[in-house]
């Protein structure tokens, strides 16, 4: 079961692919200095496999690597950051972040 995570900038979302098929996504809005994560979803057939965590971890690391601050409007992304304090410094609190 090969897994790949891609930034589909045309759709403004990170996608996690399993065997080449979209299994989940993390929607975002890109602003000049920050990325606003609005929704994360894993398709029912792929739930319970830890894909959402892999997807969000990758999306946050990509944000860090490109120097973007993060606004976690998506509850899953906010909770992920709470459980992974290495990403707390990315949160843009001036945007009403958590």
Instruction: Find, among 58, 53, 73, the residue nearest to 14 by Cα.
Output: 58
When divided into structural domains, the chain yields a total of: 1
**Residue 19 sits in which domain range?**
3-95
> Which tens digits make up the pLDDT trace of 72-84?
999 999 999 999 9
- Asked whether the predicted pLDDT for residue 58 surpasses 50, the reply is yes
- For the chain, the average pLDDT equals 95
Q: Which pLDDT band holds residue 97 (cuts at 50, 70, 90)?
A: very low
What is the strand order of the sheet 13-18 is part of?
3-8, 13-18, 21-30, 34-42, 69-72
What is the CATH classification number for the domain harbouring 54?
A: 3.40.630.30
């Amino acid at each position: 079961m090969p897994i790949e995570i891609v930034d589909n900038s045309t759709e403004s979302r990170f996608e996690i692919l399993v065997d080449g098929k979209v299994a989940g996504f993390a929607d975002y809005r890109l602003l000049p200095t920050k990325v606003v994560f609005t929704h994360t979803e894993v398709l029912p057939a792929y739930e319970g496999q830890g894909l959402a965590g892999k997807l969000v971890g990758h999306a946050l690391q990509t944000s860090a690597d490109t120097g973007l601050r993060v606004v976690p409007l998506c509850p899953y992304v906010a909770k992920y950051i709470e459980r992974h304090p290495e990403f707390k410094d990315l949160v843009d609190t001036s945007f009403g972040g958590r």
